[in-house]
Structure 1
Amino acid sequence: MYIYLYKKEFPKAEQMLHIALRQAQILQHYDGITYVYDVMANLAYDTNNYEKAKDLFKSVLQRLIAKEVPEDDLAVIHISLKISDIYNEIGDIEKANTGYKFCLQHLQNHLAKDNENEDVLQLLGLNLEKYASMLFSQSDYKNAFEYFTQAYDISIKINGEENEQTVILLNNLASVCYMLQKYDDTIKYLSKAAELGKKLPDMVELSFIYVNLGNAFLSKGLFEEAKKNCNEGKYLAQARDDNEGVIEAKKCLEQIESLIA
């Protein structure tokens, strides 16, 4: 089963999961059934089959609660966070908002008891980032910035500065500032992201960071700086055969040329 998941041969993985589920049901192995449901839920989640994933995750939660696992258990919170993410993906913002807040409250309570618990910190960082992303998509930039900042601080604590997740969060903070037309802050965050990203040779998002930086300079009318950064983004994207990155860089460069002409 796991080899199929690793190879991303999802239909074969699902076949093996159904066999495992039947075996667990024949043996009446409660925890085994719960475990298979959980793996099936994650497979559906990873392949964007959100309705199926939601139903399976809810079944896992019900089985955990039936065994008197408390609602603030990290396993329960992790599953609840995925269900919240699914609600966000399918456009049920009210339920997603309720779910994210439920997870945040319990994780903050855990952190109040032990602020060095890395499992709690990692889950809280993920929760904050996902919630902030949803708020950003809803144009709630003030709260998005607050939660991205908290997620960034946690990433610094767990991963350090020279880390892809930390750099991505700097880019997210810059995106909020850009929407608020705070272009100097946008440039500050993206410049730091680019500086750190250069030390991470496998970071595929680096080309987008440079293009974003180019667009920020363009918004301030600094055409030479804009052109330099968009060209750098284009070069990095071409070096990685990143067609989407090349397209975005070309859009930026075309916009610069139209404004200079």
Structure 2
Amino acid sequence: MSRSVEEKRSACWVKVSRWESVSRNLQNTESGGGGGRRGGGRVLWVAVAFSLFGSSDEDQRDEAQRKEDEMILLLKKAKLSVYRGELQVASGFLHQAVVLAHQTRNNQAIIYTYSLMANLAYVQGQLDSAEKLFKAAMSFMLSGGTPQDDNAVIEMSLKLATIYAELNKAELAEHGFRFCMESLEAKLEKEEIPAEEQTEEEEALRKETRLLLGLCLDSRARYRASTLHLNQAQQDYESALNICRQEQGDTHPQTLVLMSDLATILDLRGRHDDALVLIQQAVNLSRSAGHPDQHVLLGNMAGILLHKGRLEDSVQFYQEALSLAQQARDQEAVNKIQEGLKEVENRRNQERKEQEQGAQK
């Protein structure tokens, strides 16, 4: 019996991919992580050095130092609040920090704090606020002399495109994704030099740019999947997976998530055999590598087995996935897996009815 795409979507889902933040100026703005990567101008959650002093007047220096210390303390408190899940409290600290950033006319601090506020608004589902805050941060970046094709600007543009996609503003979303893709592809073409002639810094920047291109492809693929443009979504996932394999390796957690996402798209397109081969590879690698989202991969494999009619195998993987999801306290995954188990039971009941009807004839 043929099944609709919507029916299949209830048993398999695309996991929101966990690419690391790749732009040099916005490192750690999403996760609040304390470890920076190499690159000039990096701003971290803690130990922030904003260079406020330009006057020789001792009183002004003391006042500036006081405000800098207060701003850093507020950012530390915001980080701790996010870690504790106290997002409203974190928002309050960030609003206080951005006031101090404006008072000291510190463009770097303003950009950084606005980007944190925007990310926080986004995870809280406050998309209109997130849009305005990202635009404000980008405005300060551009007015401060940051080039339009800087990776930090492109990453922020990608976040705006993702917001427009979630707000069903299709034209703005498509324009945003296109700007990001074209800008990154042009940069990579311009920076094309033999590997042996690249400096360490040039090599790191090129890798950063390629990872950001992979993130763009991944984000656009999820958008296209949500609008059921499955052929285009497949192409984007394949390109993103190729980049991730080259830059991160075959067993990197992001590589395995992309394999799972691509398998989901193949499954939705009715290519169940191809989907099963790919998801089986991802699951096997995830077992050996200890993937943090192994329950998601197992859940997707169970869904694909369900669509192939292998109900007993499907239940086995759903149950394993459910146990791991509960241990990870991933309630969204738990709900999806339970929906899949219900669908398995519905399929069993349907098959029993068909068998009974056939026997009566």
Q: Normalized against structure 2, the TM-score is what?
A: 0.66
What amino acid sits opposite 1:106 in the alignment?
Answer: S
Q: 1:251 to 1:69 in 2, by over 3 A?
A: same
User: Are the aligned partners of 1:234 and 1:249 in contact in 2 as well (CA < 8 Å)?
Assistant: no
Structure 1 residues 95-104 or 186-195, which shifts more? 186-195
| Amino acid of the structure 1 residue aligned with 2:313 | K
Q: Matches of 1:53 and 1:22 in 2, distance apart?
A: 18
Partner of 1:231: 316
Give the greater-gyration-radius structure (CA). 2
| Contact 2:91–2:117, Cα closer than 8 Å, also in 1 | yes
Instruction: Give the TM-score normalised by the residue count of structure 1.
Output: 0.89
Deviation track 1:207-249 (CA, whole Å, cap 9, x = no partner) reads 343343344344344x3xx422431221231244153254034
Identify unmatched segments of 5+ residues in structure 2.
Answer: 1-74, 193-202, 353-361
Q: Quick one: which amino acid aligns to residue 230 of structure 1?
A: V
Q: 119, 126, 134: which is aligned to 2:215?
A: 126
**Structure 1: segments with no counterpart, 5+ residues:** none
Hey, what does 2:252 align to over in structure 1? 163
Counterpart amino acid of 2:265?
V
What letter corresponds to residue 297 of structure 2 in structure 1? I
Aligned to 2:8: none
Greater helix share, structure number: 1
Q: Are 1:209 and 2:297 counterparts? A: yes
In structure 2, C-alpha distance between the alignment counterparts of 1:258 and 1:248, rounded to whole Å: 15
Structure-2 separation of matches of 1:44 and 1:123: 22
CA contact (8 A) 2:306 2:314 kept: no
Name the CA distance, whole Å, in 2 between partners of 1:114 and 1:137.
Answer: 34
Which has the larger displacement, 69-78 or 192-201? 192-201
1:33-72 matches, within 5 Å, as 33-72=110-149
Partner of 2:241: 152
Alignment of 1:72-83 (within 5 A): 72-83=149-160
- Partner residue of 2:339 out of 231, 235, 248: 248
- Going from structure 1 to structure 2, the CA distance change for 1:5 and 1:212 (only over 3 Å counts) comes to closer
Deviation string, structure 1 residues 49-105 (Cα, Å, up to 9, x no partner)? 111010011111112222232211111101101000110111112111110110011
- Give the letter for the 1:126 counterpart: L
For 2:100 and 2:138, locate their aligned partners in 1 and report how far apart those are by CA, in whole Å: 21
Indicate the larger mover: 148-157 or 67-76. 67-76
Q: Tell whether the 8 Å contact from 2:158 to 2:177 is kept in structure 1 after alignment.
A: yes
How far did residue 21 of structure 1 move? Answer: 1.9
- For 2:290, what is the secondary structure of its paired residue? coil
Equivalent-residue separation in structure 2 for 1:192 and 1:252 (angstroms)? 25
After superposition, the Cα gap between the structure-2 partners of 1:220 and 1:229, relative to the gap in structure 1 and judged at 3 Å, is closer
CA offsets 1:135-171 (integer angstroms, 9 cap, x no match): 1111111111111001101111122111221111111
Correspondence for 2:307: 219
- What whole-Å deviation, never above 9, does each CA across 1:20-69 have from its counterpart, x for those lacking one? 22222222333322322222112212222111010011111112222232
Deviation larger for 160-169 or 82-91: 160-169
2:232 corresponds to:
143
Paired residues of 2:107 and 2:144 also in contact (CA < 8 A)? no
Tell me what 2:170 maps to: 93
Alpha-carbon contact 1:207-1:232 (below 8 Å) kept: no
Structure 2 partner of 1:28: 105
Work out the CA distance in 1 between the residues paired with 2:241 and 2:166. Answer: 23
SS of alignment partner, residue 198 of structure 1 = helix
Shift of 1:256: 4.5
SS of residue in 2 equivalent to 1:151: helix
**Is residue 208–residue 233 contact of structure 1 (8 Å, CA) maintained in 2?**
no
Instruction: State how far apart, in whole Å, the 2-side matches of 1:203 and 1:168 are.
Output: 10
One-letter code of the match for 1:178?
D
% same residue: 27
Please tell me the residue identity of whatever aligns with 1:227.
Answer: E
3-state SS, counterpart of residue 288 of structure 2:
coil
Moved more, 249-258 or 140-149: 249-258
Task: Tell me if the contact between 1:125 and 1:150 (Cα under 8 Å) persists in the aligned partners.
Answer: yes
Task: For 1:235, give the aligned amino acid.
Answer: E
| Displacement after TM superposition at 1:252 (Å) | 4.4
